[in-house]
């Protein structure tokens, strides 16, 4: 699953640690999501969308490999 967390985070001038604190996860979790190594829960995705003031679909994009 592709995501634009790093881009959205930069728009808000947030560090990984800042964002992690806002959504109540570790900085490592934010890093893993940005690298595409971790797919967040629905609740975490909704928290991120709220912080970034956008919808989930604007942050996360399914890739063809996600359907297999």
Rounded to the nearest 5 percent, the helix, strand and coil shares of the chain are 60, 5, 30
Containing structural domain, residue 9: 2-52
| Domain membership flag for residue 66 | no
CATH of the domain at 20: 1.10.260.40
| Domain membership flag for residue 61 | no
Total structural domains within the chain: 1
| Domain membership flag for residue 57 | no
User: pLDDT digit of tens for each residue in the chain (68 aa)?
Assistant: 999 999 999 999 999 999 999 999 999 999 999 999 999 999 999 999 999 999 999 999 998 888 87
Alpha-carbon span 11 to 56, nearest angstrom:
16
Using DSSP, how many helices (H) and how many strands (E) does the chain show? 5, 2
pLDDT score of 30: 98
């Amino acid at each position: 699953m592709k995501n634009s967390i790093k881009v959205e985070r930069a728009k808000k001038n947030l560090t990984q640690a800042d964002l992690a604190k806002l959504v109540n996860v570790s900085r490592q979790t934010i890093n893993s999501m940005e690298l595409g190594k971790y797919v967040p829960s629905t609740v975490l995705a909704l928290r991120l969308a709220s912080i970034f003031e956008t919808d989930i679909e604007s942050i996360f994009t399914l890739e063809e490999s996600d359907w297999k």
